[in-house]
Structures are given as structure tokens and as C-alpha cells.
Structure 1
Amino acid sequence: RLGRHWISPPGVNLYFSVILKPDIPPAEAPLITLAVAVAVSSVLRTWKGVPADIKWPNDIMIKGKKVGGILTEMRTSGNEIDLVVIGIGLNVNMPIGDLPEDIRSATTTLEIEKDAPSDRAGLLRGLLAGLDNAYKNLLNGNKRALINGWLSLNCTIGNRVIVRDSNRTITGIAENIGQNGELIVKLESGGTEVVNAGDVTILKN
């Protein structure tokens, strides 16, 4: 994605996909990514005791360093969703020395944060239970509760950011998220931009 490489040695991390068939309009599909991010962050906080939070739209962070990510792909027919594939990857027991030097300072693992290895099978069970609960809540239609949950766990809103997509780069303050999970950015020019997808860099104050 965005020309970046994915690096993960075998037997140490956790990466899996879940197929969903939600009965919601395609316009609301970004809420699935939000729900999954809330579930993953919540499970890491309760099950592992680490201060995991969310960088819009799909990165899981601990103390400003990336520990995992979420990728969502959707297939539609007309105005209906056929299926959504959620891919989740977490750095669990990977030695940080296995990463290229240029990304080590921005990356962490659960083993580093807890100073002990984690049971990947147990973590997977916890994540699947959390995802099941989050998905049921999403289908129940309480978008406000989902958005509030995301806001309580995010590390993006209120910060100065650069947002890049395939066509543009914008800079401003991440002000809020919309009812379908889009990022609302207050531009330095004073206007407002609504971003449906992109890559966010949080700028240091």
C-alpha cells in the first residue's frame, strides 16, 4: 500500500482476515473500519493492559508508535454490499531488530511494551470475541455510540496533520469525524475538507 513494504517474520506476529456480509449501505462501510479499530484497541487495553489507541483511519498505536493496522476491502453490487474483507495485522513477539532501521523508531510490538512474550492464540480468541461484539453493535445501528467510542480511543483529533491520498496532500487540524467515519480537517486557509480515505501523518507541535 502506497508503495510500502510489509515485513513480518514467520511465527511471531498475528495477521488474519475476517469476511463480513453487513446489511448496511456502501456509504456506511467506513464505519466497519472504525468498529474494528475500536475493538482491537479495546482488547489490547483490557487483555494486554497496554494504552492502545487509533490513528485515523486504520492504524493501531501505542505511545505514538505503530503496533498494528487494519485493511478493509469491499465488493458491491449496485447499492448493496456483497462482502467486506477485514485484514488485521499486529506486531506481537517480533524482535524490533528484525525491522529496517528507518522504521524502528516509529514501530513497537506487544513484547516490547509488556517486556514479555504474548500468547498469540489467546490474543486471537480475544480479538475475535471483541470483533464479534463490535460488529453486532454496528448492525444494531447505533452509529453515535460507535463514533463516541472511536473518539475516546483516538490519537488523531485535535492534532495538526498531513493527509495524503492518490490525488492530493492537505495540511490542517484534524477537527472531528463525520457520521460515516470520514475525517474532517480544518485547513490552514480557514476552510474545511472532508476526507474519506487517505494516509495521515500527525505533526509534532
Structure 2
Amino acid sequence: GLEKQYKILKYGRLVSTQSLATGLARKMAVQDLVILAEMQTAGRGRRGRRWHSEKGGLYLSMITRTPRTVFKNLIPLSVAVAIREALEDEFDVKAEIKWPNDILLNGRKVAGHLIDEVGRQLVLGVGINFTNRLDPALGGEATTLQAETGVWVDHQLFIKPLLESIERCIKSLERSPGEVRRRYLNVCTSLGKRAVVDIGGQSLQGFVSDIDEFGRLVLETEDGELRICAGTLTR
């Protein structure tokens, strides 16, 4: 079960759970708090992107302690593993991860997360598409759990297993970072493929040979090997 008792604040509509949570974390030392919204008017995705958040999805931000680890870059990867494992355990789906932290079902994005560090606190935002309507502008890039499984799921019932899974993975990261990386590599769909990585408007092409022990994408390019901390795989 959940060792921690999370205080959960539920909202009908918020601008962004992550903005509210980071604001609270900046003002005071608060931990084990979860902010949940039925919909967000300006949900945040990674790298400042907008996360389309209609009713029917799970949108939450949790404030917890920053893990005691030198492998800071593995934190987002371990959370991706946690979300993926929780989805698989609860709904018997085969989810994969696209580096660094997109959760895919049948090659389409069903969930994602972002992390803000505020002092010693970690603010972790998670968005999962359950039964919500998707932004048509995404084309076929995104999907919902309902679309992939044909089952209508009450996403409220997923909150506890999700928090438990995140807690477990963060503890694993502190104890055994190599184990978390191994679990990540087992389900990372980006490995062993040619890829284009967008880094701040610059596109790099190459072959993804590994995700190293610091969570960096290892890209073999014509000019040699690059190790990339953060970027977006465009294909």
C-alpha cells in the first residue's frame, strides 16, 4: 500500500496543476500533496509545450521530496517506468517509452510527464489520456486508453496505483539506479533505430545506440558519438 498519506486537492477546472503545485512549493515546504484537475485550460507539457486537457483524462501534479541520488537525469526516466508499469499492471496493456518520457500504446502517445525541482522538493506533473477528446491538431500522434482497449475506465481508480508505482520507482532509483535503467531499456522504443533529435531548434540525425547510465541518449552521428541530456525525438 501507500506508505505515505498523500493529501489530495481536487479541482474541477484549473489553468494548470503544475503551475499551482510549483507555486505552492515555492511559497512553503510542502510534501506529499497531490493536485488533481478534471480539466486544465493551459496544461503544461515538456519544454513549455501545451498539454491538451479535456475532461476524461487524468491530470495531476504531486509534490514529493527530491530523491537522494547523483543520477538526477534518471529521475524522469524512472517516473516514465512507473507510469508505464502502473498502466500495464492495472489495464494489461503493453506500453512502451519513447525517450525521454513519452508513454506510447501502439506507437501513439497516451501519457507524459514533466518535472520541476523547487528547492528540495520535486513537483511531478502527469497527464494520461483515458476517455478524453483529443486535440485534432495532434493528428494520429496521440491516443487514449479507451481508444486502444475499447474499455471505459474510471481514471479516479488509477490514482492510488499510480502514486504507489511512482513511489516504488523513486525508491528503486535511490537503491539501484542500474536496475531502473535496465527496466527502462527493456521497453524503450527509441533504441536501435535511426532518429532525428531536436535540441533547441537544431536537428541532429543519427542512430540511437544506447541510453547511458545518466539517462542520456547516445546518438551515433556522421561526426561521432553525441550524448544528449534533453531534446525531442521527432522521428
Provide TM-score, normalisation by structure 1.
0.86
What letter is aligned with 1:126?
A: P
Alignment of 1:84-123 (within 5 A): 84-96=122-134, 99-100=135-136, 102-123=137-158
Q: Does 1:62 align with 2:111?
A: no
> Structure 1, residues 100-135: CA drift from partner, whole Å, max 9, x if none?
2x3131111001111121121111111111111111
Residue equivalent to 2:33: none
> Structure 1, residues 26-46: CA drift from partner, whole Å, max 9, x if none?
x52221111110111111112
Q: Which runs of 5+ in 2 are unaligned?
A: 1-45
Q: Does 1:179 align with 2:213?
A: yes
What letter is aligned with 1:15?
A: Y
Indicate conservation of the 8 Å contact 2:71/2:177, yes or no: no
Could you tell me how far 1:3 is from its partner in structure 2?
Answer: 6.5
How much is the aligned-residue C-alpha RMSD, in angstroms? 1.7
Indicate conservation of the 8 Å contact 2:53/2:59, yes or no: no
Q: Which runs of 5+ in 1 are unaligned?
A: 77-81
Q: Does 1:148 align with 2:182?
A: yes
Of structures 1 and 2, the one scoring higher in RCO (CA 8 A, sep 6+) is 1
What letter is aligned with 1:8?
A: S
Could you tell me how far 1:6 is from its partner in structure 2?
Answer: 2.3
Could you tell me how far 1:167 is from its partner in structure 2?
Answer: 5.5
Q: Distance between the aligned counterparts of 1:184 and 1:118, measured in 2?
A: 37
Residue equivalent to 2:226: 193
What letter is aligned with 2:85?
A: S
What letter is aligned with 2:127?
A: G
Indicate conservation of the 8 Å contact 2:109/2:143, yes or no: yes
Per the alignment, in what secondary structure is the counterpart of residue 28 of structure 1?
Answer: coil
Residue equivalent to 1:37: 80
Indicate conservation of the 8 Å contact 2:66/2:117, yes or no: no
Residue equivalent to 1:6: 51
Question: How many residue pairs were aligned?
Answer: 190
